[in-house]
Structure 1
Amino acid sequence: MSDGYVLYGAPGFGSVIVEAALVLMGQAYERVDLAHGRWPADDERFVAVNPLKQVPALVLPSGELMTESAAILLWLAEQHPQAGLAPPPGDPGRGQFLRWMVYLPAQIYSMFWVRDAPSRLADGEAAEAVIKARTAERIAECWALMDRQVSPGRYIVGDELSVLDLYVTVMSRWTPRRRRFYEVAPKMAEVVRRVDADPRLAAFWAERMPFEDGWEG
């Protein structure tokens, strides 16, 4: 048992989404960074925590381990409803919220397992280059498909910020980067810019995923 959460991750990785949620929820947490100039998967300390060697991994105050970013975000939103980071059961936006929370890891996030090390599926530099190019196009296509089917208010499923908005905001900074995202997902572009500018996250973004020159791609 501990007084708070323990989050395993690295700057710029998927753990940033969970960490942003913890910040907005006002929850105490200990951060264990695994990168140190390498991919988190290369950190041998992490094998015993998550044999998949993927971040984020969250140790709950009870000592239980949670992995899978969508599951973690949904669980946190359920445990801390006072933060208002998810439409509650019975809310008209709940169905679409859950739909897109599952869509993101199933259709987009999974592409990065391939992109991070295309040699897992391809033999030789030429084949790896094809995989990287085609996965980038697939990611852009998935963003476009999502954008055509959402009807945002101030945020993706209404006028209240949710963990879905955090998820999209961080993932849209990965390949093929923000400029392409703005082109293929113009409705969600306004949402992610709003989350980028949220004053409650200003110090957090500066530390964990800074808006450095050229960050949009």
Structure 2
Amino acid sequence: MIYEAANNTASPTAVNDRAATLKFVKHLYRAKKRGAQDVWIYSPPSEHAGWIFDEITGNKETVIAKLNKEAELFSETDKNSMCSALALALKIFEDTKIKLADNNETTKSFVKRWFMDEDCGDTEINEAIAKLSDGFKRIAVCCNSNTLVFTDYPDWRDRRNTLMGGAIPGGGRLFILKALLPTWRTEAGICGPVREPLSMSSHIMRFVPRIIDTGIKG
């Protein structure tokens, strides 16, 4: 059905790209609505090994076979976990911002323990607190932004469980752009290395305990 819908006699050579776009939209979900925030999840077919525009190539029979793959990478439980992890992360980041803003001796001791050398003085510790405060503010803004998209990163899929996680400039929107733009690889160098942007629930849940362990928590 998708292949037929993608046909257009005015531009028959672009049928695969149109089919890939429709297939992409079919697997895109608005998973949560919270106030002005929309959380979207792109859950591609688990049998697709690459990005959608790399998958939907070849002759008609090959393309239709790929379009017919329906079993998705993320279950409903996975999607709910991503949204729950996002809410938990936002709370912890907000709590951490408050603790860092207090800048009391307890906070300084935790920052020194986890981020500083033993011989660092108050000047270095205060500089570190300022940097951490700025960083957590940025993370909180991202988690609280109006539009968030969780998506797959198939290039790293086989290594996901061995990575701590990572991010690229621009937040979740860039991940969706990667899924939509076949030419991304020629531009990817501007973003540097990317690690596990997709599995946001595991990304956040692995990071959160490190924050909790520091004691910088409400």
Alignment TM class, shorter chain as reference:
under 0.3
Q: Which has the higher contact order (CA 8 A, sep 6+)?
A: 2
Give me the TM-score of the superposition, normalised by structure 1.
0.25
Structure with more of its chain in helix, by fraction: 2
Give me the TM-score of the superposition, normalised by structure 2.
0.25
